[in-house]
């Protein structure tokens, strides 16, 4: 009885292998991209289904005359080269239907240099090119941003974005001679100074925003450069 079960399992396994070899081929010429799943599609326009197909048409498909010469890994590799895509996963079923799952990179700041050449960065500090089709509403960074430590600047940007009161009030960071000025949508300019000790400076700014002084519009400049002090200028 045991030998019969082993024999039956072996026959079933062979049949399955034959079916797989007939209907599944990583270089199948019958691929149909049936589904494209894009993370956060409703809140970002950098990556859409239409743009994915256009990008593939201009890259991996353009380099090949026949679908049977394209591997799924080639599609995945090509998509991962796109500035706005963090990671893609491409899979197919026995019938050649291809599903693409895409994780999108999220811009957290937009940089503009003295030549008006710009780019985005994500929360890791990796650079993303600007888009001709869509502009993300993120904090603007201008001035001499090469005069400060890049990782420290990214930490400051993430700190602002992760704290709601700063995210709502600060729209622009201007950098001159390694010193930061925080410019709000309304209210005074914040002379932040050097990045060193930025958490303590933000703690002082938090207290200022929570005080009545921020609501009466008396001051045009708030200076946070000095320890244990907030200097207000009319």
Q: How confident is the model at residue 64 (pLDDT cuts 50, 70, 90)?
A: very low
Of 193, 195, 194, 174, the C-alpha closest to 183 is 174
- The pLDDT value recorded for residue 98 is 75
Domains of the chain: 26-104 (3.10.20), 108-233 (3.40.50.11690)
Helix (H, G, I), strand (E, B) or coil at 126: coil
Query: Which letter does DSSP use for residue 193 in this model?
Result: E
pTM (predicted TM-score): 0.74
Residue 111 has pLDDT above 70, yes or no: yes
Chain-centroid distance of CA 223 in Å reads: 32
More confident residue, 3 or 209: 209
Tell me the chain's radius of gyration from C-alpha atoms: 27
Q: What share of the chain is helix, strand, coil (3-state, %, to 5)?
A: 35, 30, 35
- CB within 8 Å of 22: residues ≥ 6 apart: none
């Amino acid at each position: 009885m045991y030998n019969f079960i082993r024999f039956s399992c072996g026959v079933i396994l062979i049949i399955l292998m034959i079916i797989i070899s007939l209907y599944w081929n990583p270089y199948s010429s019958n691929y149909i991209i049936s589904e494209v799943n894009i993370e956060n599609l409703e809140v970002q326009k950098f990556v859409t289904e239409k743009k994915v197909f256009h990008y593939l048409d201009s890259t991996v498909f353009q380099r090949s005359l026949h679908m049977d010469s394209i591997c799924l890994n080639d599609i995945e590799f090509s998509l991962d080269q796109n500035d706005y895509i963090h990671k893609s996963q491409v899979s197919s079923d026995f019938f050649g239907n291809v599903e693409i799952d895409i994780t999108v990179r999220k811009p957290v700041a937009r940089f503009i240099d003295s030549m008006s050449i710009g780019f985005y960065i994500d929360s890791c500090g990796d650079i993303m090119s600007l888009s001709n089709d869509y502009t993300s509403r993120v904090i603007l960074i201008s001035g001499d941003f090469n005069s400060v430590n890049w990782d420290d600047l990214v930490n400051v940007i993430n700190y602002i974005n992760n704290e709601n009161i700063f995210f709502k009030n600060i729209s622009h960071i201007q950098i001159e001679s390694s010193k930061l000025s925080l410019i709000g949508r309304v209210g005074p300019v914040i002379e932040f100074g050097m990045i060193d000790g930025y958490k303590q400076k933000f703690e002082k700014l938090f207290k200022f925003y929570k005080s009545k002084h921020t609501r009466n519009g008396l001051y045009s400049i708030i200076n946070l450069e000095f320890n244990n002090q907030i200097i207000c200028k009319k």
